[in-house]
């Protein structure tokens, strides 16, 4: 049954640091690379080299401009994948039981052999975390790299989601958000981690760390007085040239 | 939302078909013999045809039977169960009438109740989605039920009932449009809450994730139809309400009744197209669209 579990033993998820993400899209590529050749159907592309390329991705990086009331605008790179919600609306709408949330770690998965490709779960997700694969006709979503994180055949440092492993700026963190003492929970508490669209009532497990405040244009540098222009008006030959050109 | 022809046909025709089955089910003197056969045939063609067309948009139609399993949590599954139960019960009721001329009234009542249940569960598939604020209101099931009952009465040839129900359905439709237009802003979801950055200033989508389109944008960020929305609303209302009502007020004739039915169906199709095309999914906010 696609009822949601009352509680899960752990709440595995991601913490994404919007302050340090540089928008390089490496997580997008490593996610597609790992997930197209491992668990489930491959992530197909349609017309990848044609005029209108598109394809299935489990992780996409948006960029937003935030313009405060005063001061300069700030650019925020914004990776977005499944938030493995505690109250996942995508699971309960599923008519076949293909979508489920695991009791042991809270990961939301799709059993692809039960998926009829009706697309209702993608409609129910406010975050755009689910994409129907155009070649396979089944719903694809982030698995939190369930085939990496418990994989004893991988070296220990690789037993994290591909996006986390690859991020060059350390903007992605993986851990148990149900354990208040875990490193990710500490990070969320320290930095004021937030939910996306909390009013939708989905209770996302993944948290986003807001950008730290930036320097302001109004702040005066201590060196500013020494950097005043030395000559405001030209003198000598340049002054004559200036006057001569003016009268032409 | 993308107005897929298969889903528009599904909701329109199955709504009309189950509406007709409702009226045939509660009819104290239902048609029997060949006349009954034709009435039930029309209802089944619409109801089953609609259901089959909904299967067309599935990625894996061959696994459709699995959709009957999750009735405890899923409205889509409940709809499938309800539809099959209705068609089975009314099938027995119709067979008794057509083949034997026996009127098993309680079976008809049960079938009528299940018909309404099917239309209600269909509407709940859309109503339950908090992600589409325009659909997420109690008036949506009212709209589906009103249109189904009015269309069913029209098909069943109940002139007075149809007149009243058509006017009622028209009123619900107008109210649904008026309330629906305000739903997205009332939902409190905007690009600020979507990104969590709203408290820091005005948020603008600066760069999309990819240069091309994707499944999400094709499926949920459909904005083409909204430009002519007002004109289309007027067309829908004229076709589904004004023309049939005017024709029903004239002295009854089979040709006029047929034109009234065709006009009503065309109007409901336009209204259902708008139902999808105008609906804003909150994921559009991530793409700077609505």
Q: Are strands A207-209 and A12-17 parallel, antiparallel or unpaired?
A: parallel
Q: Are strands A108-110 and A99-101 parallel, antiparallel or unpaired?
A: antiparallel
CB of A87 less than 8 A from some CB of B? no
Integer angstrom CA distances of residue B155 from A7, A108, A166, B3, B16: 50, 46, 62, 26, 8
CA distance B253 to chain A (A): 43
> Cα-flanking dihedrals φ and ψ of residue B29, to 5°?
-125, 75
DSSP string, A2-21: -PPPS--S--EEEEEETTT-
The sign of the torsion formed by the CA atoms of B274, B276, B282, B285 equals: negative
Residues of B in Cβ contact (< 8 Å) with A66: 197, 200-204
Q: Do A131 and B216 touch (CB under 8 A)?
A: yes
Closest CA relative to residue B151, chosen from B67, B267, B60: B267
**Domain A12-209 bears CATH identifier 3.30.70.20:** yes
More confident residue, B135 or B30: B135
DSSP string, A180-225: TTSHHHHHHHHHT-B-SSGGG----SSEEEPPPPPP-TTPPPTTGG
Residues of B in Cβ contact (< 8 Å) with A101: none
Q: Do A96 and B189 touch (CB under 8 A)?
A: no
pLDDT along chain A (248 residues), means of 10: 82 96 96 93 93 94 93 92 96 95 95 94 96 95 96 95 97 96 96 95 96 73 74 80 86
Kind plus residue range of the DSSP H or E element containing A61:
strand A59-67
The C-alpha atoms of residue A111 and residue A215 are separated, in whole angstroms, by 48
CB B136 within 8 A of CB B128: yes
Q: Do B209 and A61 touch (CB under 8 A)?
A: yes
> What pLDDT, on a 0 to 100 scale, did the predictor assign at position A2?
66
Smallest CA–CA distance from A195 into chain B, residue:
B196
Residues of B in Cβ contact (< 8 Å) with A61: 209
Query: Residue A154: which residues within 8 A CB-CB, separation 6 or more?
Result: A148
CA end-to-end span of chain B:
10
Which residues, in sequence order, are bridge partners of residue A174?
A: A14
Residues of A in Cβ contact (< 8 Å) with B80: 95
pLDDT digits (tens, 9 = 90+) for B70-83: 999 999 999 999 99
Query: Which one of B65, B205, B212, B215 makes the best mutation probe of the A interface by having the most chain A beta carbons within 10 Å?
Result: B215
> What pLDDT, on a 0 to 100 scale, did the predictor assign at position A12?
96
Dihedral, CA atoms, B35, B41, B44, B45, nearest 10 degrees? -140
Q: What is the mean pLDDT of chain B?
A: 93
Q: Do B213 and A80 touch (CB under 8 A)?
A: no
CA distance B166 to chain A (A): 31
Q: Do A114 and B63 touch (CB under 8 A)?
A: yes
CA distance B11 to chain A (A): 15
CA distance B81 to chain A (A): 11
The C-alpha atoms of residue B16 and residue B151 are separated, in whole angstroms, by 6
pLDDT digits (tens, 9 = 90+) for B192-222: 999 999 999 999 999 999 888 899 988 888 7
User: B75-95 and B105-127 helices cross at what angle (nearest 10)?
Assistant: 160
Q: Do B215 and A132 touch (CB under 8 A)?
A: yes
CB B184 within 8 A of CB B290: yes
> What pLDDT, on a 0 to 100 scale, did the predictor assign at position A231?
67
The C-alpha atoms of residue B94 and residue B37 are separated, in whole angstroms, by 8
For residue A65, count other CB atoms closer than 10 A to its CB.
Answer: 16
Integer angstrom CA distances of residue B280 from A197, B125, B220: 16, 16, 7
Q: What is the 3-state secondary structure (H, E, C) of A149-173?
A: HCCCCCCHHHCCCHHHHHCCCCCEE
Which of A60, A115, A127 is opposite residue B209, by nearest beta carbon?
A: A60
> Where does the pLDDT of residue B56 fall: very low under 50, low under 70, confident under 90, or very high at 90 and above?
confident
> What pLDDT, on a 0 to 100 scale, did the predictor assign at position A1?
52
pLDDT digits (tens, 9 = 90+) for B151-167: 999 999 899 999 999 99
> What pLDDT, on a 0 to 100 scale, did the predictor assign at position A241?
87
The C-alpha atoms of residue B90 and residue B21 are separated, in whole angstroms, by 8
CB B43 within 8 A of CB B30: no
DSSP string, A65-92: EEE-SSS--EEEEEEEE----TT-HHHH
Residues of A in Cβ contact (< 8 Å) with B222: none
Task: State CA A29 to chain mean position distance.
Answer: 13
Smallest CA–CA distance from A61 into chain B, residue:
B209
CA distance B227 to chain A (A): 23
> What pLDDT, on a 0 to 100 scale, did the predictor assign at position A185?
97
Average pLDDT in the B233-239 region? 95
CA distance B55 to chain A (A): 8
Q: Domain extents for chain A?
A: 12-209
Which of A62, A68, A125 is opposite residue B209, by nearest beta carbon?
A: A62
Average pLDDT in the B234-252 region? 92
CB B183 within 8 A of CB B134: yes
Q: Which ipTM did the prediction report?
A: 0.92
């Amino acid at each position: 049954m696609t009822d949601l579990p009352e509680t899960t033993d752990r709440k595995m998820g991601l913490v994404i640091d919007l302050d340090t993400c540089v928008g390089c899209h490496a997580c997008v590529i490593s996610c597609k690379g790992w997930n197209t050749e491992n668990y489930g159907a491959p992530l197909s592309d349609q017309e990848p080299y044609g005029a209108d390329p598109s394809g299935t991705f489990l992780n996409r990086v948006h960029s937003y401009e935030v313009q405060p009331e005063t001061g300069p605008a700030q650019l925020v790179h914004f990776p977005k994948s499944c938030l493995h919600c505690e109250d996942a609306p995508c699971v309960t709408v599923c008519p076949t039981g293909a979508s489920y949330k695991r009791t042991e770690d809270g990961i939301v998965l799709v059993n692809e052999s039960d998926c009829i490709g009706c697309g209702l779960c993608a409609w129910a997700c406010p975050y755009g975390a689910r994409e129907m694969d155009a070649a396979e006709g089944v719903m694809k979503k982030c698995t939190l790299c369930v085939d990496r994180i418990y994989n004893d055949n991988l070296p220990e440092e690789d037993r994290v989601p591909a996006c986390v492993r690859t991020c060059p700026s350390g903007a992605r963190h993986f851990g148990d958000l149900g354990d208040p003492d875990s490193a990710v929970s500490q990070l969320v508490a320290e930095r004021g981690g937030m939910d996306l669209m909390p009013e939708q009532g989905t209770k996302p497990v993944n948290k986003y760390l807001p950008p730290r405040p930036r320097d302001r244009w109004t702040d005066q540098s201590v060196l500013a007085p020494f950097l005043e222009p030395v000559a405001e008006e030209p003198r000598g030959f340049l002054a004559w040239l200036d006057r001569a050109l003016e009268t032409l | 939302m993308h107005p897929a022809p298969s889903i528009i046909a599904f909701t329109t025709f199955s709504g009309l078909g189950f509406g007709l089955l409702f009226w045939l089910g509660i009819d104290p003197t239902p048609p029997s013999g060949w006349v009954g056969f034709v009435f039930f045939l029309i209802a089944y063609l619409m109801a089953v045809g609609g259901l089959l067309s909904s299967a067309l948009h599935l990625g894996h139609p061959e696994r459709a039977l699995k959709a009957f399993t999750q009735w405890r949590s899923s409205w889509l599954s409940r709809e499938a169960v309800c539809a099959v139960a209705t068609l089975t019960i009314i099938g027995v009721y119709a067979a008794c009438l057509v083949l034997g001329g026996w009127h098993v009234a309680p079976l008809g009542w049960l079938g009528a109740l299940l018909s309404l249940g099917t239309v209600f569960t269909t509407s709940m598939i859309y109503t339950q989605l908090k992600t589409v604020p325009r659909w997420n209101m109690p008036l949506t099931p009212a709209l589906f039920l009103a249109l189904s009952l009015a269309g069913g009465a029209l098909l069943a040839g109940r002139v007075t009932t149809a007149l009243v129900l058509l006017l009622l359905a028209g009123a619900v439709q107008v109210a649904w449009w008026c309330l629906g237009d305000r739903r997205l802003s009332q939902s409190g979801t905007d690009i600020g809450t979507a990104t969590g950055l709203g408290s820091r200033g005005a948020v603008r989508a600066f760069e999309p994730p990819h240069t091309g389109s994707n499944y999400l944008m094709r499926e949920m960020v459909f904005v083409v139809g909204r430009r002519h929305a007002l004109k289309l609303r007027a067309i829908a209302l004229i076709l589904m309400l004004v023309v049939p009502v005017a024709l029903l007020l004239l002295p009854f004739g089979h040709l006029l009744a047929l034109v009234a039915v065709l006009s009503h169906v065309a109007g409901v199709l336009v209204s259902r197209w708008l139902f999808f095309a105008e609906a804003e999914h909150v994921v559009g906010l991530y793409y700077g669209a609505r």
